[in-house]
Amino acid sequence: MHTFTSLAPDPSGAIDALAALGLTFGPRRRVVRMLLDTFDGRLRAHGYRLEVRQCEGSDELLLCGSDGSLEHLATAVVPRMANDIPSGPMGDRVRDIAAERALLPLMRMESMWRTGSVTEAGGPSELLALHDDVHIAGSAPFPAPRWLIELQRQDGHGDLAGEVGTDLERCGMLRVRGDSLTVLARAAGISLDGFDGSPTIALDKRLGAAAGFRAVLSHLADGIVATWEGARDDVDAEFLHDLRVGLRRTRSVLAQAEKVLPASVIDDARHRIGDLAAITGPARDLDAYVAEWESYIEPLAATARRALSPVREELERQRRAAHADLATGLRSPQAMTLIASWRTWLSADGGPWTGAESWSDKRLGTVVERRISRAQATLIERARRIDDSGGDEAVHDVRKAAKNVRYLLECFGGVLHDKPRHRLVRRLKAFQDNLGEHQDAVVHLAWLNEVRPIFAAASTLRAIDQLSADLDARRRAARAEFAERFAAFDSPATRRALRSALHGVH
């Protein structure tokens, strides 16, 4: 798909030139086009553009591929989630890509719209769309083209599209990259790429440690702010997950900032950010339970699944209540002041960042190498102490130690060697998956035991007992697999990957 723009005050010259090729234009109609994508830009990353097009009372959903493919679907509402799109080629494709993320309106374009078509043996075929009187809703004034033409790819019409494009260029129009929505977004300064939540940023190992920690913490703070409103408003479950991980990463980095940043700052920030992280816990645990519910009840008989419907309703009720509490907490003056003051401190120049502590001016690479090595040693030591008698809390402590190592590898990845770091993270993730399965079963089993007294129906109580037994079996299976997973991680291959990732960093 190609777009052409011009500084000419009106498109009449181009229309006359195109008429010579046999194109005729339909009447001008007001059209509204809304571009949808996930917060992290998943559709765009996969080469797709999802658009809601409203014209004269007719609403249509369009999915355009980078290969020129175009799918149409009549719609009565703007889809909020991929599941809102009916099953079929378009809905299935969007669900595969967007998964659990909400479809957010990135931009809204209004224009007068005329379609140009050419009549051949097969009948008239739309070839291009001409936009004029273009507006981007909610955007500040910007130097947008007064009109533009979007040229569609037409199969079965020889080189007609190429001829039209050539003729437009002869008329003085400029061919630009992308479709009309992309062109206008670029002109308006609207990013369509989506938020990149990666904690890894470019770092120089020769940088002073305090400055390096500051850069990492500032980047994490930006991510926390970016996901704050989505978590507060419960847009989709991933916003809260990302916010919670951002807070945990921040605490992990602060825990490794000993002798790099002022002790008073570290202690205060860890405490206050810990309090903030604590209010995200209940809602996130219930989000995870809702996400796993169908897989939990799938092995049960149909009668047991039906009997668990009141439990599912209670789970949803508690999830909504937990999100309401979270929203209140995130809207509170204390929370808003905390994140604002933290970002202010992170942006301060000089002062506490230089010379405040004995390691503040040491090379960042030296500090990172020591702290990651120490965190890995702590993880190995704790995991090796786990035996068959080790309780759930001991396993959870290992899980927290594993997260700490992974957060450091990700947050300070800019000074590490990429390939061995990625190998190490993959090996760590395989171990973490086992620890996560165990902890989910523990938490979700505890919730079932907690809510069991609420219900009186014998069928529901029997179904709860069956589900509890299944969850406990999952917990025991994960626990039995712990030794095997840890042995695979506590191996020469892992030690080689760690040495290679840290080689020469100090």
For residue 184, the tally of other CB atoms under 10 A from its CB is 27
Tokens of 352: 């506490």
Residues 6+ apart with CB under 8 A from 335: 276, 279, 329
Q: Which of 237, 231, 281, 239 is nearest to 447 (CA)?
A: 281
Residue 54, SS3? Answer: strand
Residue 416 or 65, more confident: 416
pLDDT for 30 beyond 70: yes
Tokens of 415: 């000074």
For residues 366 and 167, give the distance between their C-alpha atoms in angstroms, rounded to a whole number: 62
Instruction: Tell me the percentage of the chain whose pLDDT exceeds 70.
Output: 92
For residues 411 and 295, give the distance between their C-alpha atoms in angstroms, rounded to a whole number: 33
pLDDT for 161 beyond 80: no
Phi, psi torsion values for 53, nearest 5 degrees: -120, 120
> Among the residues of 64-117, which ranges form H helices?
89-98
Length of the chain equals 506
For residues 180 and 151, give the distance between their C-alpha atoms in angstroms, rounded to a whole number: 9
> Which residue(s) pair with 114 in the sheet?
130
Mean pLDDT computed over 488-503: 96
DSSP 320: H
Degrees to nearest 5, angle at CA 410 with 407 and 415: 125
Q: Which of 238, 227, 211, 194 is nearest to 339 (CA)?
A: 227
Residue 76 or 287, more confident: 287
pLDDT at 139: 64
- The number of CA neighbours under 13 Å toward the Cβ of 221 is 20
Residue 152 or 216, more confident: 216
The band of 5, judged by pLDDT with boundaries at 50, 70 and 90, is confident
For residues 52 and 59, give the distance between their C-alpha atoms in angstroms, rounded to a whole number: 7
How distant, in Å, are the alpha carbons of 129, 417, 500 from that of 171? Answer: 17, 53, 59
At 399-452, the pLDDT tens digits run 999 999 999 999 999 999 999 999 999 999 999 999 999 999 999 999 999 999
pLDDT for 143 beyond 60: yes
Check if the beta carbon of residue 404 is closer than 8 Å to that of residue 252. Answer: yes
Residue 107, SS3? Answer: strand
For residues 307 and 291, give the distance between their C-alpha atoms in angstroms, rounded to a whole number: 19
How distant, in Å, are the alpha carbons of 116, 279, 348, 360, 371 from that of 265? Answer: 65, 22, 13, 13, 19
Residue 476, SS3? Answer: helix
Exposed, middle or buried: residue 329 (CB in 10 Å: 0-12, 13-18, 19+)?
middle
Mean per-residue pLDDT over the chain, rounded: 89
pLDDT at 264: 85
At 240-278, the pLDDT tens digits run 999 999 999 999 999 999 999 988 888 999 999 999 999
pLDDT at 174: 82
Mean pLDDT computed over 307-316: 97
The band of 350, judged by pLDDT with boundaries at 50, 70 and 90, is very low
Phi, psi torsion values for 176, nearest 5 degrees: -125, 155
Tokens of 485: 């997973």
DSSP 23: E
pLDDT for 49 beyond 70: yes
Mean pLDDT computed over 385-405: 90
Task: Please report where in the chains the tokens 């030591």 appear, as a residue.
Answer: 381
Mean pLDDT computed over 349-361: 62
Residue 142, SS3? Answer: coil
For residues 403 and 409, give the distance between their C-alpha atoms in angstroms, rounded to a whole number: 10
For residue 265, the tally of other CB atoms under 10 A from its CB is 16
pLDDT at 2: 74
Residue 364 or 355, more confident: 364
For residues 227 and 448, give the distance between their C-alpha atoms in angstroms, rounded to a whole number: 30
Residue 191 or 241, more confident: 241
At 104-121, the pLDDT tens digits run 999 998 888 888 887 765
- Asked whether the whole model's pTM tops 0.95, one would answer no
Mean pLDDT computed over 177-203: 88
Residues 6+ apart with CB under 8 A from 408: 252, 253, 256, 368, 371, 372, 375
pLDDT for 79 beyond 70: yes
Amino acid, res. 437: E
Tokens of 116: 């140009």
Mean pLDDT computed over 272-285: 94
